[in-house]
Amino acid sequence: MSECKPVATPVEPGTKLIKKQRQSNEELRLPYRELLGSLTYLSTTTRPDISFAVSHLGQFNNCYGEDHWTAAKRVLRYLKGTVDLGLVYEPDSDPLTGFVDADWGSCTEDRRSFTGYIFLLNGGPVSWDSRKQRTVALSTTEAEYMALSEGVKEAIY
């Protein structure tokens, strides 16, 4: 992937991945889990911009296929194009600022929503996460409320 063509986003817009029911021997030989482990480390330590993509790909550790492998390689192509990005903290008097969002029922497998939050201090992120919600939200308001609850718990911590 060192000679790959960079892309502007870690996820192709409109991509819908589904669980693979049967895997061929060739697909089982793909180092998908190893790549995902490395990407997870990056997303939790220094790259909040890939958190959603990695969280989404992590759902398919036991049921991945060629399309999942292609999506994971797209994250690598995104990282190739953004290798100069980093976390920057500047002298700033702004208080701790947090942002929370949710998407309602976007997982086609179980209709659960995704939650994401980020907290900024001195112009840089200090805490972030993106994960699937634990329960099924019955409305967009309920999905946003559950996301806000996760964000508030992190803010209190």
> Which pLDDT tens digits describe the chain residue by residue (157 residues)?
888 999 999 998 888 887 877 777 666 788 999 999 999 999 999 899 999 899 889 988 888 888 899 999 999 999 999 999 888 888 877 888 999 999 886 766 778 888 999 999 988 899 998 888 888 888 889 999 999 999 999 999 8
| pTM of the predicted model over 0.85 | no
Structure tokens at 145: 């409320």
pLDDT tens figures, 65-97: 888 999 999 999 999 999 998 888 888 778 889
C-alpha torsion sign, points 19, 21, 26, 29: positive
Q: Which own/partner pairs from 22-30 qualify as long-range (CB within 8 Å, at least 24 positions apart)?
A: 23/63, 23/64, 23/65, 27/64, 27/65, 27/66, 27/69, 30/64, 30/66, 30/69
Residue 40 near residue 88 (C-beta atoms within 8 A):
no
**Residues forming beta bridges with residue 119, ordered by sequence position:** 98, 127
